[in-house]
Structure 1
Amino acid sequence: MATSTHTGSCHCGVVRYQAELDVESGSGKCNCSICSKVRLWGMIVKPEQFKLLSGEDALSDYQFGTHSMHWLFCKHCGVHAFGKGNIAELGGEFISVNLASLDDMSPEALAAIPVRVADGRHDNWLESPAVTSYL
């Protein structure tokens, strides 16, 4: 696993973070109700690979369903820079970094990150949905 340190933020810059990412390991998108509505594009890291640099007091938390995921977003600009979860099938506690919120990656580097799409809309997490281009 070849990790490198990356920084990201919300749109207004109040929420800032640093994360150790292995971009070659791939990323994920999902067609569930929340991911498709906010166009989340995540990479899962362990909590020790993530550091919130600023803006903890600016984060709002949204939960639904099983409450296993904290969908965090900046209460000023509304951007979802990262979320936190605890799902046994994913190895317990994790952070999902929204790759669209990275500040230090070129469009070319982002485009090179492998993406796996899950059919969360039908709780079929191991399969891709038939249509993915809108994600």
Structure 2
Amino acid sequence: MVRDTIVRTGQCHCGAVRFEATLSDGFNSIRRCTCSYCRMRGAVVVMAEMGGIKLLQGEDALTTYRFHTGSAQHFFCSHCGIYTHHQRRSDTTLYAVNVACLDGISPFDFAEVPVVDGVNHTNDTGKPTRRAGTLRFIPAD
């Protein structure tokens, strides 16, 4: 399989946190999740491998949140509260990056975004990750 690696810069809303993300499979890994936290947060994410997030500024402004098993580490700016990325629970060698934080990218740039079943997480069920549906954006005329 040919990888479509893309390097993008990004930031939180207030600009205190700036980073560079190497997206290991470009935007091919785009997704949403149905777990309680992702559902409330509403972020669309893409994947970066371990070492694929390079903080350019504001490391001291980042704070983290963990819940349930505590294995996923969610990073957000302590000033503006924007979620920038998280270390995944199902594969801790991957980071999910909030596409809304990437310079020049919007979640609304994607007509369809796969939604994975995080309520029935693979680490809890022992079963492969299930696709729960598709999020569609249809621009108004």
Structures share fold, TM-score greater than 0.5: yes
Q: Give per-residue Cα distances to partners, 1:70-100, cap 9 Å, x unaligned.
A: 1111011000011124x4x53x422211111
CA displacement 1:25-51 (0-9 Å, x = unmatched): 221210111001011212121122221
Q: Which runs of 5+ in 2 are unaligned?
A: 123-127, 137-141
Q: For the residues of structure 2 that align with 1:24 and 1:35, how far apart are their CA atoms?
A: 19
**Count of matched residue pairs:** 129
Task: Tell me which moved more, 70-79 or 119-128.
Answer: 119-128
Tell me which residue corresponds to 1:105.
Answer: 105
126 and 52 in structure 1: CA distance in 2 versus 1, 3 angstrom threshold: same
Counterpart mapping for 1:14-33 below 5 A:
14-21=16-23, 22-33=25-36
Pair 106,52 (structure 1): closer, same or farther in 2 beyond 3 Å = same
User: CA 1:61/1:23 → structure 2, altered by over 3 Å: closer, same or farther?
Assistant: same
- SS of aligned partner of 1:37: helix
CA contact (8 A) 2:11 2:101 kept: yes
1:67 partnered with 2:79: no
Deviations 1:47-74 (A, max 9, x none): 2222111111111111111111111110
Backbone CA RMSD of aligned residues: 2.6
CA shift, 1:107, in A, is: 6.9
**% identical aligned pairs:** 35
Task: Select which of 65, 80, 93 maps to 2:83.
Answer: 80
> Any residues of structure 2 matched to 1:41-60 within 5 Å, and which?
41-60=44-63
Q: TM-score, normalised by structure 2?
A: 0.77
Higher relative contact order (CA closer than 8 Å, sequence separation 6+) = 1
When residues 4 and 122 of structure 1 are mapped into structure 2, their CA distance, relative to the original with a 3 A threshold, is: closer
Runs of 5+ consecutive residues of structure 1 not aligned to the other structure: none
Counting helix residues as a fraction of each chain, which structure ranks higher?
1
